[in-house]
Structure 1
């Protein structure tokens, strides 16, 4: 099952349905013990449809300003390749009922905007948080951290909460507190390097062709 950060500490109906989806999917292990039901959970994928990168590119093309909802807002920056790798890793290595979480870099949205603006004479405008929007993304809650360990493959794994699905004693705890995007944040230089690595810096000549190719 593929889930999102909205399932962690949900604040709206969409998040609640995501959380219920995870629970229903992993509980299927009880009904069908010969099949291994596992989940992945991650935040927005870089340059995916509806995400901030295409929006910022469009705003730059139109001369700005770039709009952010809060100067303190942070988000995980997960590439499409890393998202696919997370799914493959869960299919290959996750134990019954586990949810795999990618360990991804995070950045302040102001730095993402500054990185894309570069030396252009374009401003940044704060427009205020929208209803249900979070200042930061949480991928693992504090409660879930008690059931979380770090795998040998570079992912966090949340072990199932249902006793019927758990296989013996839970593995040791490798995470203290929740895992969220406000804990270890890239500086401006690190943000630029990550965007360059994923070919997401604004380039008038080819940026739209590349993004459209990525999101299909």
Structure 2
């Protein structure tokens, strides 16, 4: 699919971007353009990969002209760039709006202008029935991406929605391990809190699957396993070998939920079961050929998909962490 293609990755120096590029390079692309604001990360990444097919472009998705320059001659765009931390977006909503909403609109316009074949937008479970500003901006981003398929262009736009990915910058696993080592204490917000989790390597493989099979206009939802945050903390404490590590409950931060959902009640009305790894949320908009493509698939038989359900036990959590290289 990517052989001899030119690929643009916005936010390409982040954890998602680096793993995406690591798995793209064996597929023989002509060029991968790493577009991000962080000069030092680009230099470090260039030294790590040492691959002539990588091009590094300093730029911000808020800058329309910079995006247009980066999109020239590009076949695929993976749009990863975003402000992602819930407390930061709560405290600085206008900055989140400029990056996550206006920046996404710039990506859409640049892709259409330069006849990009497909744009893949990486979304989050927090976009489903959002309770915080970060989730709201990502939900608007999803709407913009879906609507872009009606703009009479040859470019296809698709969303991929997932939960927490282990190993990304700011991941709770890194935080907990640091706290165990430096404080002999883990701070959790609420002992009942649950979250969706997937290893970064598995997330990218699913991303490729959605890229290959999507029509444009749908939202692919990863059916990720879930766990209690307190169980995750206890597994990490046990694996550390440290004794007398405390778990301290600190209370929920602004905008946080006890349980996340990957699909809302409303969305379930137009969602089909694609396979064991994906649900597909179809829009209420009429996009040529989209609903026909998924007519053979069964509709979901539940009203929402919550992290409260089908929770992993500690053995499952330990196996997931081992697979991701964290234990």
**Shorter-chain TM-score range:** 0.7 to 0.9
Contact 2:222–2:279 under 8 Å retained in 1: yes
CA distance in 2, matches of 1:11, 1:165: 32
User: Deviation at 1:114?
Assistant: 0.5
The CA deviation string for residues 197-216 of structure 1, in whole angstroms up to 9 with x for no partner, is 22212xxxxxxxxxxxxxxx
> Can you give the 5+ residue segments of structure 1 that lack an aligned partner in the other structure?
202-216
Match of 2:233 among 91, 96, 113: 113
Cα 1:123–1:156, aligned 2, differ >3 Å: closer, same or farther?
same
Give the 3-state SS of the residue equivalent to 2:145 in structure 1.
helix
Match of 1:188 among 314, 322, 327: 314
User: Deviation at 1:89?
Assistant: 1.3
Pairing 1:137–2:255 present: no
Pairing 1:48–2:168 present: yes
CA distance in 2, matches of 1:168, 1:55: 43
Give the root-mean-square deviation of aligned CA atoms. Answer: 1.8
Task: Map 1:9-20; keep pairs closer than 5 Å.
Answer: 9-20=129-140
User: Deviation at 1:164?
Assistant: 4.4
Q: Which residue of 2 aligns with 1:58?
A: 178
CA distance in 1, matches of 2:230, 2:309: 16
Higher strand content, 1 or 2: 2
Higher helix content, 1 or 2: 2
User: Deviation at 1:71?
Assistant: 0.5
CA distance in 1, matches of 2:268, 2:166: 26
Q: Which residue of 2 aligns with 1:156?
A: 279
Contact 1:159–1:166 under 8 Å retained in 2: no
CA distance in 1, matches of 2:250, 2:130: 23
TM-score (normalizing by structure 2): 0.58
Give the 3-state SS of the residue equivalent to 2:144 in structure 1.
helix
Contact 1:160–1:166 under 8 Å retained in 2: no
Cα 1:34–1:186, aligned 2, differ >3 Å: closer, same or farther?
same
Pairing 1:99–2:219 present: yes
Contact 1:40–1:90 under 8 Å retained in 2: yes
Q: Which residue of 1 aligns with 2:39?
A: none
The CA deviation string for residues 61-95 of structure 1, in whole angstroms up to 9 with x for no partner, is 11421110000101111111122122211110122
Runs of at least 4 residues of structure 1 off by over 6 A?
none
Q: Which residue of 1 aligns with 2:152?
A: 32
CA distance in 2, matches of 1:165, 1:135: 39
Contact 1:26–1:97 under 8 Å retained in 2: yes
Deviates more, 1:98-107 or 1:146-155: 146-155
> Can you give the 5+ residue segments of structure 2 that lack an aligned partner in the other structure?
1-120
The CA deviation string for residues 126-159 of structure 1, in whole angstroms up to 9 with x for no partner, is 0000010111121111111111112147311111
State which structure, 1 or 2, has the greater radius of gyration over its C-alpha atoms. 2
Pairing 1:8–2:128 present: yes
Aligned length: 201
User: Deviation at 1:14?
Assistant: 2.0
CA distance in 2, matches of 1:28, 1:15: 20
Higher relative contact order (CA 8 A, sep 6+): 1
CA distance in 1, matches of 2:138, 2:247: 33
Give the 3-state SS of the residue equivalent to 1:173 in structure 2.
coil
Give the 3-state SS of the residue equivalent to 1:61 in structure 2.
helix
